[in-house]
Structure 1
């Protein structure tokens, strides 16, 4: 999917961010330092990482500057309220950069930290995929802790199955 215009992209990205915030809002404050394995991102690290990579890598390179990402440690924000404030503050800074782009800017190339030149619209698409990837990890982390997580689109898989009709053999045979 090529991105042709900034306003529809920002509308879409807002919805992606709303789904990310829904999962962050169920994170128990006393579990921010939990990780499934020593040396891996904690829950707090995951949240800070989404914020810092968006702002300091994606937004900076989109603005024509080099990546300024320096990690996602507790020194940036510690404690649930501080992490949430930091997360939202960096997102607003990123949005300011994205809102300043023209539709023509989407065809301009930026340089990734790996020194690859890429059209801005493709880099913005990668940013969304990155957030979704880490949101999925948050779901797994919280499920491992037994935390009830919100369904992504309103229904759980079990509720979708319950509201669906059974499949007969004809529906699964592409030759019929």
Structure 2
């Protein structure tokens, strides 16, 4: 369970910084690339991560799930997408700090209409971002681009017993 919203916001900032490491290695020509026609493009995934931050915030502030989409109007270039990611993180973290710790045990409805505590929805935010960052890692590798190592080393560089 999450007990301190300020500590949680610091954790989210770390998740965001690792996502931004990926943004730095994506070439502009890969933004429209997708593994198949029915999948998100690389740019779609990044815009989706950002827009989802606002969707999650809407649950806490208004009690409703509203997704504003991931179209190119939210960023067509890497610079624009980076700015959108940053702006959405600021809105999310500012909103979370405003609602405070007393909201953590408040009940909200999931997308399926089940009632759960706010702290459980908060747990979904980094899981969601990490899931899509994994997709971006795969997209990079499929395009012969080495993804960043989120903690600085490849497993092959860690000392073995």
Report how many aligned residue pairs link the two structures.
161
Residues of 2 paired with 1:116 and 1:128: CA distance? 20
- Runs of 4+ in structure 1 off by over 3 angstroms are none
Higher share of residues assigned helix: 2
Unaligned runs of 5+ in 1: 166-176
Deviations 1:9-62 (A, max 9, x none): 11111111111111111111111000011121000000000000111x211001
Which residue of the partner structure matches residue 5 of structure 1? Answer: 4
Question: Does the 8 Å contact 1:64/1:110 carry over to 2?
Answer: no
Residues of 2 paired with 1:26 and 1:8: CA distance? 29
SS at 1:118 equivalent: strand
The TM-score with structure 1 as length reference comes to 0.87
Which residue of the partner structure matches residue 72 of structure 2? Answer: 74
Residues of 2 paired with 1:5 and 1:37: CA distance? 41
Which residue of the partner structure matches residue 160 of structure 2? Answer: 164
Name the Cα RMSD after superposition.
1.2
Unaligned runs of 5+ in 2: none
Residues of 2 paired with 1:47 and 1:128: CA distance? 14
Residues of 2 paired with 1:72 and 1:116: CA distance? 26
Deviations 1:46-97 (A, max 9, x none): 0000000111x21100113312203212132211111111111111111111
Alpha-carbon offset, residue 114 of structure 1: 2.5
Mapping 1:116-131, distance limit 5 Å: 116-131=114-129
Deviations 1:101-136 (A, max 9, x none): 221210001223332222111000011110110011
Mapping 1:91-106, distance limit 5 Å: 91-106=89-104
Max Rg structure: 1
Mapping 1:103-142, distance limit 5 Å: 103-142=101-140
